[in-house]
Amino acid sequence: MPDLWIEIDLDAVKHNYRQIKSKLCAESSLMAVVKADGYGLGAVPVAQALEEEGCCAFAVTRVEEALLLREHGIEGEILVLGPSDPEEWPQALAKKIDLTVSRLERIAALNDTARELEVKAGIHLKLETGMGRTGFTREMLPALAQSLKESSYLNLRGVYTHLARGAQRDKVYTYRQHQRFIEYISILEENGINIPRRHICNSAGLLDFPEYHYELVRSGTLLCGHFPSPAFFGKLDLKDPWTVKAKIVHLQRVPKGTFVGYQSVYKCKKDTTLAVIGVGHADGFGLEPKFVPQGLLDLIKIIIKNIAALFGLQLGRDKLLFKDKQVRIAGKIGMQLTVIDMGDIECQLGDEIVVPLRRTLANPRIPRIYKKNGVICTKRVIKEGILSINQE
């Protein structure tokens, strides 16, 4: 066992998948979003586990992510959500990977590539309804329809849009996005386009807008055992598949008054045991995305959290645990080493500490160990840039 590793419980992922399925409307099916390396869990083992569970549609952001899934035997449909480069198209088409198209000139170009390769290119159209990122706007739709009708090598498999404020309490913006979505779809239909599947919901939409499920729902966050925001807690029985563990690699008993770490920001208030674990900023530990407070209440929460941190208190879920007891960081987190103030808790070299590490920020080089039916089934390591996934 290495000194730092991540345990991923694939049974929890499967459980979450079944929970989500139970919420879906009858005509709808689930597209599992496993972008960004499966939100850090590992796209390949997660997709494999979901395929065992009956999942037959996956989504990622980039063509290279889709190819990785195919290389590892994922057979279900795979949709690339982000923009793709024409240079990647031949490979994607050869592997039956569906592409999102959100620019008019790409329709004819992709059709040409598909014709040259004598294959049909599966595509989804992305509509811009309020995310302000990618997609066709209203005035582009008649030309889009015309171009599609001239492209016999394209197979339109779906039309979708993405919610910007699905996780927010105020639903007005989402209603408006949905209205546009419906309107744009009818414009396409009036212009002779037959639309097989419509999809608008992400995880938040799935929970809050059953009437928007249509033929497909795209969910990633829920599969990973998280809710899109605290407002959703308890709406589904989810299990967290993610545990980061670090071994104590150094231990010492120190007297009261000992300074710890860079800038000596931490001073031991009494005689204590200091444990060192091999995790730090380079592993993604202590990093957080920059939160923009949503309103005054949110701002106050963020301020309180930061003031608490000043006194060494971790609020929320960001707790380090030793045998279910909360322990705290002493001083600043280092690049790859962090000191823990164990107080008078008995511990030994090699004992495990559970570390709060954000899934999407966890360094992919940290080995992942996958468990199924309670036993280790797969190990994943990246050494010198090379990914290896080994079944046990």
Ligand X SMILES: *Cc1c(COP(=O)(O)O)cnc(C)c1O
Binding site for ligand X (CB under 6 A): 33, 35, 81, 162, 202-204, 218-221, 228
- Cβ at position 44, least distance to ligand X in Å: 18
- Cβ at position 19, least distance to ligand X in Å: 13
For residue 329, give the H/E element and its range: strand 325-329
DSSP 233-273: TTSS-----EEEEEEEEEEEEE-TT-EESGGG-EE-SSSEE
> Which CB sits closer to ligand X, 162 or 245?
162
- Cβ at position 9, least distance to ligand X in Å: 19
> Which CB sits closer to ligand X, 228 or 286?
228
129 burial type by CB count under 10 A (0-12 exposed, 13-18 middle, 19+ buried):
buried
- Cβ at position 131, least distance to ligand X in Å: 8
Residue with tokens 């103030």: 341
> Which CB sits closer to ligand X, 33 or 66?
33
Residues in the chain: 392
**Distance from C-alpha of 44 to C-alpha of 29, rounded to nearest angstrom:** 21
- Cβ at position 218, least distance to ligand X in Å: 4
CB 44 within 8 A of CB 262: no
Pairing type for strands 266-267 and 216-219 reads: unpaired
What Å distances lie between residue 31 and 200, 216, 341, 363, CA to CA?
Answer: 11, 7, 44, 26
85 burial type by CB count under 10 A (0-12 exposed, 13-18 middle, 19+ buried):
exposed
Cβ neighbours around 348 below 10 Å, total: 8
- Cβ at position 229, least distance to ligand X in Å: 10
CB 129 within 8 A of CB 163: no
> Which CB sits closer to ligand X, 158 or 286?
158
- Cβ at position 270, least distance to ligand X in Å: 45
> Which CB sits closer to ligand X, 80 or 246?
80
Pairing type for strands 198-199 and 4-9 reads: unpaired
Pairing type for strands 272-277 and 338-343 reads: antiparallel
Least Cα distance to 180 among 148, 123, 139 occurs for: 139
> Which CB sits closer to ligand X, 232 or 322?
232
Q: Could you give the maximum distance between any two Cα atoms of the chain, in Å? A: 79
For residue 341, give the H/E element and its range: strand 338-343
- SS3 per residue for 298-316: HHHHHHHHHHHHHCCCCCC
Active-site positions?
A: 35, 262
> Which CB sits closer to ligand X, 245 or 359?
359
